[in-house]
Structure 1
């Protein structure tokens, strides 16, 4: 059962791909677990979580009455797990052979029915997805960190499937990779209302204060690096315009419009992406949404 105490990634230097650990209820990416509160529709019926659906799969073809009892047991995934365990004698005989395929079905229904989770999964780029469970060495990595991690592998398979079924995906964020200029951190100055901002990040951070505390906005504009602009805005977070959460997307649109129209080569690069799905591939939540 997901707990509150995070564990560190085992042997991080031994793997080239970055690791994205999930499992603990208060940590990022808890939605990747089957215990997250995301209901799933399957064949016309609602299951409170993907754990309910997965546990019901053990009985759906052979004992649909038990499967229905699991579906209705409560909204809590632990109750579904316990009910299935109590009915262990009635589990379909081939369960060990089909359980990974059933997990694939359960999580595909979950992620395709919740666009926020789908986006979060796609934004994990090529990270190794790891269920950081000390209690489960099959679906997770177990106490010694050497478990099979089959849920993590299932999520990676789904990530690949979603990408191949969608529009082409262009990932951007890392400075060494193509399309870094699509980020607000790229060194493309932006003019706005007669003043020059070193990057679009400077302008975006300044928007938090421009109308209510122009002195703070000016300090941000004069920062040397985009990270400094972000930090300066964070220092003054108590002065951010009161309606920021209601207007921040609109302000980002303005920032990007100014940046790409003032740099023709960026505009051409953006248009050349066609109908590709553009994904800012940070493993953490984008900083512009934090406050």
Structure 2
């Protein structure tokens, strides 16, 4: 089943002179489609998810009630808040589905989360041809999630974070160019 995004920004996308696309902040207007929060429905495992972030957060538990709650959220940001670990500080866990229901996220989450994101991002670009074309248009630019609050997926507060969100997008782009899966 091929799913199309409800809209795509038609802003000219010029690669910045430094060869880096900082799509969380600096270059968000032109390259926000790279975000996991971008409205681009994906179909995985026989279920449709409004964004990559919804799918990703839903994988923290196989409880059908939890997954339904994540899918039903109106925004990817709220999906992320529902998925907060119950042991996180109150400001983070106050909306946690796990805390409210006395449950824990899957125990192997940190071992599998990158592969789950890789699968969801791949689906996003395989199922949305317009977004795939836009990803390819980024050429050889370094894709960077310049989120100061996210040291694993982004660059974190000191700029030295893992940038796994950007790394995975560059992997997918390379595989699209080479034709390998």
TM-score by structure 2 length? 0.75
For the pair 1:159 / 2:173, whether they are aligned, the reply is yes
In the alignment, which residue of structure 2 is the partner of 1:21? 22
2:156 to 123, 139, 142: 142
In the alignment, which residue of structure 2 is the partner of 1:245? none
In the alignment, which residue of structure 2 is the partner of 1:65? 65
In the alignment, structure 2 segments of 5+ residues that lack a partner are: 1-17, 85-95
CA displacement 1:19-46 (0-9 Å, x = unmatched): 1110149521101001111111112222
1:27 and 1:141 map into 2 onto residues whose CA distance is 19
In the alignment, which residue of structure 1 is the partner of 2:109? 95
Larger radius of gyration: 1
In the alignment, which residue of structure 1 is the partner of 2:83? 84
In the alignment, which residue of structure 1 is the partner of 2:33? 31
- 8 Å CA contact 2:38–2:51 kept in 1: the answer is yes
RMSD: 2.0
In the alignment, which residue of structure 1 is the partner of 2:15? none
In the alignment, which residue of structure 2 is the partner of 1:130? 144
Equivalences for residues 77-226 of structure 1 within 5 A: 77-85=76-84, 86=96, 87=98, 89-165=103-179
The alpha-carbon deviation at position 159 of structure 1 amounts to 0.8
2:54 and 2:78 map into 1 onto residues whose CA distance is 9
In the alignment, which residue of structure 2 is the partner of 1:49? 51
TM-score by structure 1 length? 0.48
* Number of residue pairs the alignment of both structures matches: 148
1:30 and 1:70 map into 2 onto residues whose CA distance is 22
Equivalences for residues 242-281 of structure 1 within 5 A: none
The alpha-carbon deviation at position 65 of structure 1 amounts to 2.4
2:138 and 2:28 map into 1 onto residues whose CA distance is 18
1:142 and 1:37 map into 2 onto residues whose CA distance is 24
The alpha-carbon deviation at position 51 of structure 1 amounts to 0.5
The alpha-carbon deviation at position 64 of structure 1 amounts to 2.8
SS in 2 for 1:129: strand
Q: Which has the higher contact order (CA 8 A, sep 6+)?
A: 2
CA displacement 1:214-269 (0-9 Å, x = unmatched): xxxxxxxxxxxxxxxxxxxxxxxxxxxxxxxxxxxxxxxxxxxxxxxxxxxxxxxx
In the alignment, structure 1 segments of 5+ residues that lack a partner are: 1-16, 167-291
1:115 and 1:143 map into 2 onto residues whose CA distance is 34
- 8 Å CA contact 2:23–2:34 kept in 1: the answer is yes
CA displacement 1:104-161 (0-9 Å, x = unmatched): 0111111111112101111111111100101101100012211110000010111111
1:64 and 1:47 map into 2 onto residues whose CA distance is 14
